[in-house]
């Protein structure tokens, strides 16, 4: 880990009906980071889950002093959960990934040594995609569309496996409540002059439940937010 600038990390997990996977991810992330950095906390945002995730998380937190749980009374969306998690984070660096176990939280160890003094964000990119063929097509199409519209330079905009300096968020709060938050995050961070490096990470088939993003209401909400974001930060700024 020579050269890393990371001394404290807040791990953030958005959780929506992830009772089958969230406990293992919490322990994997903390167990990986605790020997490597001086201070590690884990923040999980229960975004109005209906599968018992909330009570489960409270039980886990009672046994883990480094775990904090934020509860949303109703489901606010992926971006809403991330905003709550980032706002609750206390440490200098934030690492986040999803609560559905499509990413291996232990691979945060791959990102850590790349977070040197002259780096602000270590951005993952997927080694393949653990999804059905049509989701792969939708994902690649979405990536190319947002990369063109927002002139993003990152290799994989919607790879939710990131380690970044907390001040990037606190200096420029995010507003998107859907999955569009990833585009807003990368655009605003790039516009602020943040220094990026990228690293390959694995992406697996979802072991339990169903993705919320690929449902019609979620796609419609994301499309509206994407257009609104493009109008605000690209068209108006011109």
**Closest C-alpha among 121, 120, 122 to residue 107:** 122
pLDDT of residue 209: 59
pLDDT of residue 1: 42
Q: Residues 6 or more apart from 208 whose CB is under 8 A from it? A: 18, 20, 21, 100, 101
CA 207 distance to own-chain centroid: 18
CA separation for the pair 187, 183 (Å, rounded): 6
229 three-class SS = helix
Residue ranges per structural domain of the chain = 8-235
- Give the CATH fold of the 8-235 domain: Spore Coat Polysaccharide Biosynthesis Protein SpsA; Chain A (3.90.550)
Rounded CA gap, 174 and 146, in Å?
A: 17
Q: What angle do CA 109, 115, 120 make, to 5 degrees?
A: 135
**Size of the chain, expressed as the number of residues it contains:** 238
3-state secondary structure of 14: strand
From first to last of its 238 residues, what are the pLDDT tens digits of the chain? 447 899 999 999 999 999 999 999 999 999 999 999 999 999 999 999 999 999 999 999 999 999 999 999 999 999 999 999 999 999 999 999 999 999 999 999 999 999 999 999 999 999 977 556 566 666 667 777 888 889 898 989 989 999 999 999 999 889 999 889 999 999 999 999 999 999 999 999 877 756 555 555 667 777 888 898 998 888 876 5
pLDDT 10s digits, 107-131: 999 999 999 999 999 999 999 775 5
pLDDT tens digits, 88-102: 999 999 999 999 999
Strands 8-15 and 67-72: unpaired
């Amino acid at each position: 880990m020579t050269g890393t600038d990371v001394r404290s990390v807040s791990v953030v997990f958005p959780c929506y009906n992830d009772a089958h996977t969230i406990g293992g991810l919490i322990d994997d992330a903390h167990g990986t980071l605790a020997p490597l950095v001086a201070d590690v906390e884990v923040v999980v945002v229960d975004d109005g889950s209906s599968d018992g995730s909330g009570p489960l998380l409270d039980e886990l937190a009672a046994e883990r002093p480094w775990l904090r749980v934020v509860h949303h009374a109703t489901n606010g969306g992926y971006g809403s959960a991330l905003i709550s998690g980032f706002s609750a984070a206390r440490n200098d660096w934030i690492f986040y990934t999803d609560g559905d176990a499509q990413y291996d939280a232990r691979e945060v160890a791959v990102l850590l040594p790349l977070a040197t003094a002259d780096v602000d964000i270590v951005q993952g990119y997927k080694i393949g995609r653990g999804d059905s063929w049509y989701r792969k097509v939708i994902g690649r199409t979405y990536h190319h569309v947002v990369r063109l519209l927002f002139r993003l330079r990152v290799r994989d905009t919607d790879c939710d496996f990131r380690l970044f300096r907390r001040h990037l968020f606190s200096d420029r709060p995010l507003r998107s409540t859907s999955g569009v938050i990833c585009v807003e995050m990368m655009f605003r961070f790039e516009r602020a002059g943040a220094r990026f490096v990228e690293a390959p990470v694995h992406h697996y088939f979802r072991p339990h439940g169903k993705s919320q993003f690929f449902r019609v209401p979620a796609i419609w909400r994301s499309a509206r937010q994407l257009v609104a974001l493009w109008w605000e930060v690209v068209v108006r700024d011109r």
